[in-house]
Structure 1
Amino acid sequence: MAALYEGYTLCGLVPSQNRTNSGIQGIEAERDSDHVIITDAFRSVTLYKVSDQKPLGSWTVKQGSCLTCPAVYNAHTKEYVTVSDHKVIRIWKEDDVLLDKTFKATVSSDIWRVHCVAGGDPVVLFQRGAVRLLDTLLSDPQQIVEDFLAPDETIRWSTNIVAETQQFVIFATEKKGDNFLYLQKVEPKVLQRYRLESEDSSYFPLSFSASYRDELIHLLYLYPNGHVYQSVISVWSLGADEGSQTLSLPRNLLLALSVDEDKLNAASALLLDEAHVAVVGVPHPSAGTGKDFLCIWNINFQTLQAGKEIAGKIFGQLWCYSKKLFIPHGKTLSVIPYGCTKSSLASALGKLKQSTIEETRPLVSVPSWNNILHEDKTQPTRTQETRKLRTTRKSQLTPSLTVEQVLELIKTAPVEEVQKEVEGLFSRGDIQDLTQSVGQLASSLVSRSLADTAFYSSTTLAQLVQSQSLCHSMCPDLIQLALEKKDYFLCQLCLQFFPDIPEAVTCACLKAFISMPDSDAEKMNLEPDSLSFMETLTSREHGQVGLQNGFNSSASLEDHSDVTMTKEDEGDKKSPPPEQSCPVVLQKAVLLNEVLQTAYSDDLLLPHLKDLSSQHVLLFLQYLHFLYLKYSQEPQSHGYRSPSVTQIMDWVCLLLDAHFTVLVMTPEAKGLLLNLHSFIKSQVRLFSELGKVEGGLQELQHMKIKQDMGQYSIEVIELF
C-alpha cells in the first residue's frame, strides 16, 4: 500500500511568460537526504535545506549568460558543477560567493548534461552522444570529441546509473519519428543502441525513469496516450562487438491510464520501487475534468493506491529523493512525502500468514480446519469442559470479520460492538497491510462520529493511533474531532505519534489546552509517564544556588541594568528568590509539553500564534519560564517526552515575535519580560564561553605535536 502525506512549499517559482514551463531545469540531491540543489531555467543555482524550507546559498551567472545544464553535486570533492552557454563548465564550492570568479573551462563541443550520482564520478554527455569523465575532460578541455549521433538525431532525455563498480550513461534520442535508446558504459567504453517500439501516434515518450536492481536496468516511459511501458536491460550483456548494431528493445505494458480525447501534453511517470509508480498530469479515474492530480499506482495489481489534487498548472515535471516527491505547479514548488509498503497478493487479500514461535509444533498427518483456524493441537473431551470453557470455545469458533465487514459495521453498529470487532481485528495475525486498514478504520470512525454526535469510541481511536500506522494526512479530521469531544488523552497520543501535524492544528491544540479550566484539567487521565515527569519536576526543591546551565536565578535582578531600582527593590535583591511554582496544573503542563515537542516551521507557525490572546500568551510564557528555571537549577537527563532547553527557547522566541507589541503594552507582562531578558542574556554568556572553549580546543588540535618529548619535559601552551 502507498500513501501521500501532507505536503509543504519549498520555494516559489518564476515561470516563463508563456507559462509553458515551470522555470526549473532540474533538481538534484546534495550532501544528504535533507539538501537539494535547484537550477532554474535562467541564471541561478540555489541550495535548499528541505526540512527548514530555506535557501542556504545561491549563485548566479552574469547578465548575458544562461545556465544550460542542471547543477550537480560531487560528493567526493564537495563541489558543484554546471554548464553555461552550452560550452563553459563551471565548478565552485559552497563558501564561494561570486560564480563568475570561480573555476571555469571552455570545451570544444556543446554539452547536453553533466551527471553525478552517489558512488560515482561526474560524467559529461555531449549533444552528439560522446561521454567523458569530468576529470578526463578537464585535463584537456579542447580535446576533440566524437559524434555518435546522426545530424538530424536529437537527445531528449538522459541519466546516469552506477551498477556495482561500473558507471552507465543512458540517453534517449529522436530521429524523424523514430525513437532510440543508448546505453554507454563509461569505463571501458562500450556503446549499445536500441530501437524503441513506436506507438500508433509515433510520439516521443513524455517522460523516462530508470533504476537499477538485481543486476538489471529497469526503464519506465510514459507515452502521450497514457500507456506506461517498462523495458529491462542486463548491464552485463554488453559486448564490445555489439556497438555497431541496433537491437530491438522489448517492452511490457504496465499501465494503460485513461486520458481525455486529447493526448497528454504535460505528464510524467516516476518509478518509486519495484511495485509502485508515481504519475502526475494524468486525469484521476474518479475525478472530474479540469483537475490535476498526483497519483501512486501499484503496477503489480493495476490499482490506484493514493491520490492528491494539485492546485495550479502542472508542467509535467516530477523528481523523487529520499521518500519525497518534488513537483512544480502554479507558482510554487511543493514537497510531498510518501510511503510505500511491500505489496503482495496475500497481503492485499489479508491472507499472508505471520510466522510465530508456535509454528515449531509438530505437523499433523491429517489437515484439520480447527487446527488451521485456531491452532488447537488437542481438544478436551466434552466431559472435561465446564460451562465457562464451552462459552469460550463457542466465541472462538465464531469467524472473525474482515476489514471490509468491520467498515460496514462501523456505519450502523453501536459503540460497544464496534470496539469489540476492531480489537478482534487487531488480534488477528493475518492482517499484513496494517497502514491501509488503520487509515480506513480511523476515517470511518471519525466520519460517523462527526455525523452522529451520540457515537464516539475513544478507546478504539486511541488503539488505532497507538498502532503507529496512522498519520494526520490519512485522517485529517481526527484531532479536530478529539478537540470537539474534549478527548485530550487522544490529542496527546496524536501529538506523540503523528509526524505531519500542520501548524494550524498545532496552534488549535495549544489554544484548547491553555484555555481549559483547571477544574476540567485535573479530571483528565493522561499518559502516566509524562504525568510522572511533571510530578517529579514540580516536587523538587531548589538545590545549591549557583551558576547552572549559564543561569543564576539569584542574580537575575542584577541583569536589569537599564531599570531604575527603588530602595524597596534593593532590599528585595538581598533576599533569596522565592520558590518558582508551576503556573498551570500538572495535566495542562503535560499537554503543553507535547505541543513544545511537535515539529513545525517558523514561517507557517507564526501567523497562527498571533490568534492567541494576550492572557494566554502571558500564561504560556510564564510556563516556559518555569520550565527553564527548573532545567537550569537541576541540569540532568529529563523524563519521558520532556521538552529540551532548545525547544523551550525556540518557543519563547516565537511567542515574543508574534506578540511583542502587545506584551510591551501589557503591564502584567513587565516583570516576566525582565526575567526572560535575564535568562536570554545568560544563554548568550554561556554560548560565548563555550565558543572560547571551542576555540581553545581547536588551537590544541591544530598545534604541531612534537614526536620526541624525551623522558621528562615541561611545556607551556598559550591559547590567547
Structure 2
Amino acid sequence: MAAFKPHYTLCPLLGAHNLVGVSADKEERTILVTLGPNIIVKQKLSDQKPLKSWSTRQSNQITCKSVYNGINDKYVCVLNRKHICMWSEEESNLEDVKKHTFSSNIHTIHASPGKSSIIVYDNGYSESLEVGLTKRKDVKPNLLEQGETVSKSYLERVKDQTVLILSTSKNKVYFVRLTSDGSPDGNLNFSLTKGDNCRNIGMTVVNDNANIVTILVLWSDGELVQYSEQGAILATYTLSGICLTNPVAMVMLDSTHIAIYGADVSEEGAVLMLFDLKFGMSVSNRKLKFFCDPPHMYCLPSNNVLLLCIVQNLVVVPYVLQPSLLWNLIDSKQVRDSSAKPEVAAWGGESEKPSIPNPLKFRKTETNKLSNSLWESNACSSRIFDELLPFLKEDKDIDGICLLLSSVKDLPEKWLADLLNFSLEGTIAEGDSRSKMLEILLSISYSDVVLLNHIRRALTTKSTIKLLEHLAQLLKDCKFSGDVGTIQPDFGQLVDWISLILDAHHHELLIAGTDDQVKQLIKQLGQLVGESYEFLDSLGQSEPLITLLEQKRRPPENRRKDWYAIEVVRLL
C-alpha cells in the first residue's frame, strides 16, 4: 500500500515567502532550488551541503523557478519577468551572462524532458525556448480574455501531445494543446464556480498517461472535485482531517495518487496526506509540527520524493507507491473465514425463505411507518440510520435508539460520535436507558482512523470529561475478558476508547488541566494504568509455571542449600 517514509531536512531557506520554486536537475537525485530574490542552489537529495550556487544582483530578481534545458545543456531563469538568462554549470557569476529582453511579461518556464523548455507568458500565450529567443521582441497574442492573467500553469504530455493547463485570475481553466514549437493549437476552457460561499483553496492536475488529463480542485466546503477538459464533473470526493480555511498545496504522484499538504484540522501544526483516487480515501497521513502559509510542495516522480517548505527548512519526504487493496484499506488484520458456507442466490426465482418481520417498533406512528418502508425496501444500514436517528433524537426516544442499535449493524462512525455526545448530554444512572445506550455504543466496532475526526468535531469538552470518567469507572469494574452474551464493552475495548478520546481531545484536556475535576480524572486514569501493569506482570510470572503444567513437567528444584552467598572471591 502507498505510504510515506521518514522525512529529513535537506537545506535551510530564507523563509517560505522567499522560496520561488524547485525543479529537477540533469543528474539523477539532484535538484535546483530557486531562492528569492536572487539565489539559485544546486542540491543533492542525499547531502545537505550544496553542490553549486549562483546569484544575481538585488535589482535582478528571479521571478519563477529555474529549470534545466536539455537541448542546449544549460540552465534557464527569468529575471524581473522580462529577461531570460541562460548559463552553463561552469559559470560562477550570473551578472556576466547575457540577458535576453522580451517585450511581453513572462509567467514561468516549464522543463520538458527530451524537448525544449516551454515559455508561458502572463497573457496565456506559450512557445518553445528557442522560438521565444528568436521572436523575443514580438508582441505575443492574447490567449486569455482582456484583463485576465495566468495564476498557475501545468505542463503535461499525453502520448505524443503536449498539453498546457492554465488557471487564471478570473477563476477560469484553460486546456491548451501545443504544437511542436510550443505555440497554442486550440483550447478548451471553463469557469470554476461552486456556490457563493465556496472558494478554491487548492488544485492540481491528474494525468492517466493514456489520453485524459483532468484537474482536481479542493473547495472550502471539503469537496475534492475532478473536472474534465470541458468542465464536466467526473468524480467528487469528501476530504476530512485538514483545515479548510487555509490554502492547501496538492501535487500528483501518479494516475491514482495525489499528495495534499495543509494545516491540521485542529489548526495546530500541519498534515501531509496521501490520497487514493481509486478508493476516494486517505491511505497515509504524516503529522507535522508547523504549517507554512502559503504552503509550498513539489514532487520529483523520478526520485519518489516530495519537497516541503517547513518553517525555515526545505524538507524531503520519500514515499512509496503500491496498488491499494480494499482489504488493506479496511482492516489489514482481518482474517478471512474459510469455513463459511457460500450461499447461492437464484435470481428471478421465488425465494423459499420467508421475509423477516420488521423488529423496529417505536413510540410514534410516523417513525414506525418510515421504519416499515425502509425495512420492506431492503435499505442499507447507513440509510436506515440516516433516516431514523434524527427523528428518534428529536423525540428523545432512548429505548427506540437502543432497539435500532441492537437490530441494525454497521453504525457509521459519524453517528457513533453524534450518539455518544447525545447520550452524555443527560444524567447517566446505573441501569437506566441512557446507561444502556452508552454501553451499546462503546461495544460497537469502528474504524479509529475515521472515528477520530468525528470525535474531535462532535464531542464537547464537557462531554469528553464525562465520558472519560465513565470509561475509568467501567475499567475499574471490568474483567480482562468480557462475558459472552452481554452488551458491556470488554477490557480491550475500554482501553482502546480511552486511548482514542485522549488522542482526539489532548489539547482541550491540556488547557483544562488546572481544573480539579480534570486533575482527579487524570490521576485516576494513571492509577488504573499502573494497576493493570502490575496485574499483567503477575500474570507474566505465572506463565512459565502454567506452561510446565501443560507439558506435565516439574519445576526445576533449587539445588542451593546454604542460606548465604559468596559475593567476593579474592585470589592471592
TM-score when scaled to structure 2?
0.55
What's 2:209 paired with? Answer: 213
State the distance in 1 between where 2:251 and 2:139 align.
36
Shift of 1:121: 1.5
Shift of 1:213: 1.4
Unpaired stretches in structure 2, ≥5 consecutive residues? 333-337, 343-446, 448-479, 482-532, 542-572
State the distance in 1 between where 2:318 and 2:241 align.
26
What's 2:20 paired with? Answer: 25
Q: Which of the residues 237, 245, 252 maps onto 1:254?
A: 237
State the distance in 1 between where 2:12 and 2:258 align.
26
What's 1:557 paired with? Answer: none
State the distance in 2 between where 1:155 and 1:297 align.
27
State the distance in 2 between where 1:452 and 1:154 align.
69
Question: Is the 1:35–1:48 Cα contact (8 Å) retained in structure 2?
Answer: yes
- After superposition, the Cα gap between the structure-2 partners of 1:216 and 1:305, relative to the gap in structure 1 and judged at 3 Å, is same
State the distance in 2 between where 1:349 and 1:53 align.
39
What's 2:270 paired with? Answer: 292
Question: Is the 1:255–1:299 Cα contact (8 Å) retained in structure 2?
Answer: no
Is 1:276 the counterpart of 2:251 in the alignment? no
Is 1:144 the counterpart of 2:125 in the alignment? no
Question: Is the 2:206–2:255 Cα contact (8 Å) retained in structure 1?
Answer: no
Is 1:228 the counterpart of 2:224 in the alignment? yes
What's 1:97 paired with? Answer: 92
The residue matched to 1:82 in structure 2 has which SS? Answer: strand
State the distance in 1 between where 2:13 and 2:537 align.
44
1:320 is aligned with what amino acid? Answer: C
Shift of 1:192: 1.0
- After superposition, the Cα gap between the structure-2 partners of 1:119 and 1:253, relative to the gap in structure 1 and judged at 3 Å, is farther
Question: Is the 1:13–1:22 Cα contact (8 Å) retained in structure 2?
Answer: no
What's 2:177 paired with? Answer: 184
Shift of 1:198: 1.0
1:100 is aligned with what amino acid? Answer: E
State the distance in 1 between where 2:6 and 2:140 align.
48
Question: Is the 1:228–1:255 Cα contact (8 Å) retained in structure 2?
Answer: yes
State the distance in 1 between where 2:189 and 2:214 align.
14
Question: Is the 2:198–2:220 Cα contact (8 Å) retained in structure 1?
Answer: no
Shift of 1:123: 0.8
Shift of 1:348: 4.5
Shift of 1:205: 4.3
What's 2:13 paired with? Answer: 13
- After superposition, the Cα gap between the structure-2 partners of 1:63 and 1:348, relative to the gap in structure 1 and judged at 3 Å, is closer
State the distance in 2 between where 1:53 and 1:295 align.
25
The residue matched to 1:325 in structure 2 has which SS? Answer: strand
Shift of 1:222: 2.2
- For these two proteins, the number of residue pairs brought into alignment is 341
The share of aligned pairs that are identical, in percent, is 22
State the distance in 1 between where 2:189 and 2:201 align.
15
Is 1:171 the counterpart of 2:166 in the alignment? yes
The residue matched to 1:100 in structure 2 has which SS? Answer: helix
1:257 is aligned with what amino acid? Answer: S
State the distance in 2 between where 1:258 and 1:181 align.
31
State the distance in 2 between where 1:145 and 1:113 align.
15
- Aligned 1:609-648 pairs, distance under 5 A: none
Question: Is the 2:2–2:323 Cα contact (8 Å) retained in structure 1?
Answer: no
Question: Is the 1:323–1:337 Cα contact (8 Å) retained in structure 2?
Answer: yes
What's 1:113 paired with? Answer: 108
Question: Is the 2:283–2:329 Cα contact (8 Å) retained in structure 1?
Answer: no
| 1:639-666 alpha-carbon deviations (Å, 9 max, x no partner) | xxxxxxxxxxxxxxxxxxxxxxxxxxxx
1:56 is aligned with what amino acid? Answer: L
- After superposition, the Cα gap between the structure-2 partners of 1:369 and 1:103, relative to the gap in structure 1 and judged at 3 Å, is same
1:221 is aligned with what amino acid? Answer: V
Question: Is the 2:268–2:290 Cα contact (8 Å) retained in structure 1?
Answer: no
State the distance in 1 between where 2:39 and 2:166 align.
25
Unpaired stretches in structure 1, ≥5 consecutive residues? 16-20, 234-246, 352-367, 373-403, 405-411, 414-447, 457-720
State the distance in 2 between where 1:159 and 1:254 align.
22
- After superposition, the Cα gap between the structure-2 partners of 1:370 and 1:208, relative to the gap in structure 1 and judged at 3 Å, is closer
Question: Is the 2:9–2:314 Cα contact (8 Å) retained in structure 1?
Answer: yes
- Aligned 1:232-381 pairs, distance under 5 A: 232-233=228-229, 247-257=230-240, 263-283=244-264, 288-315=266-293, 316-321=295-300, 322-345=303-326, 348=329
Shift of 1:12: 0.9
State the distance in 2 between where 1:65 and 1:54 align.
26
Question: Is the 1:227–1:257 Cα contact (8 Å) retained in structure 2?
Answer: no
Question: Is the 2:263–2:291 Cα contact (8 Å) retained in structure 1?
Answer: no
Shift of 1:95: 1.1
| 1:382-403 alpha-carbon deviations (Å, 9 max, x no partner) | xxxxxxxxxxxxxxxxxxxxxx
Question: Is the 1:208–1:222 Cα contact (8 Å) retained in structure 2?
Answer: no
- Aligned 1:687-702 pairs, distance under 5 A: none
Q: Which of the residues 187, 191, 194 maps onto 2:189?
A: 194
TM-score when scaled to structure 1?
0.44
Shift of 1:295: 1.7
- After superposition, the Cα gap between the structure-2 partners of 1:138 and 1:292, relative to the gap in structure 1 and judged at 3 Å, is same
Shift of 1:251: 4.1
State the distance in 2 between where 1:127 and 1:3 align.
37
- After superposition, the Cα gap between the structure-2 partners of 1:452 and 1:24, relative to the gap in structure 1 and judged at 3 Å, is farther
The residue matched to 1:136 in structure 2 has which SS? Answer: helix
More helix by share: 1
| 1:406-442 alpha-carbon deviations (Å, 9 max, x no partner) | xxxxxx99xxxxxxxxxxxxxxxxxxxxxxxxxxxxx
- After superposition, the Cα gap between the structure-2 partners of 1:203 and 1:126, relative to the gap in structure 1 and judged at 3 Å, is same
State the distance in 2 between where 1:311 and 1:349 align.
28
- After superposition, the Cα gap between the structure-2 partners of 1:139 and 1:306, relative to the gap in structure 1 and judged at 3 Å, is same
State the distance in 2 between where 1:452 and 1:81 align.
66
Shift of 1:111: 0.4
- After superposition, the Cα gap between the structure-2 partners of 1:455 and 1:223, relative to the gap in structure 1 and judged at 3 Å, is farther
State the distance in 1 between where 2:278 and 2:208 align.
18
Question: Is the 1:120–1:167 Cα contact (8 Å) retained in structure 2?
Answer: no
Shift of 1:128: 0.7
State the distance in 2 between where 1:251 and 1:205 align.
19
What's 1:671 paired with? Answer: none
The CA RMSD over aligned residues, in Å, is 3.1
Is 1:84 the counterpart of 2:79 in the alignment? yes
| 1:519-561 alpha-carbon deviations (Å, 9 max, x no partner) | xxxxxxxxxxxxxxxxxxxxxxxxxxxxxxxxxxxxxxxxxxx
Shift of 1:337: 0.8
- After superposition, the Cα gap between the structure-2 partners of 1:452 and 1:327, relative to the gap in structure 1 and judged at 3 Å, is farther
Shift of 1:455: 7.3
More deviation, 24-33/219-228: 219-228
Shift of 1:51: 0.9
Q: Which of the residues 41, 50, 53 maps onto 1:46?
A: 41
What's 1:434 paired with? Answer: none
What's 1:3 paired with? Answer: 3
Question: Is the 1:295–1:307 Cα contact (8 Å) retained in structure 2?
Answer: yes
State the distance in 2 between where 1:332 and 1:110 align.
31
User: Which stretches of structure 1, 4 residues or more, deviate above 6 A after TM superposition?
Assistant: 368-372, 451-456
State the distance in 1 between where 2:282 and 2:216 align.
18
Q: Which of the residues 176, 185, 199 maps onto 1:203?
A: 199
The residue matched to 1:218 in structure 2 has which SS? Answer: strand
The residue matched to 1:6 in structure 2 has which SS? Answer: coil
The residue matched to 1:138 in structure 2 has which SS? Answer: helix
- After superposition, the Cα gap between the structure-2 partners of 1:332 and 1:156, relative to the gap in structure 1 and judged at 3 Å, is same
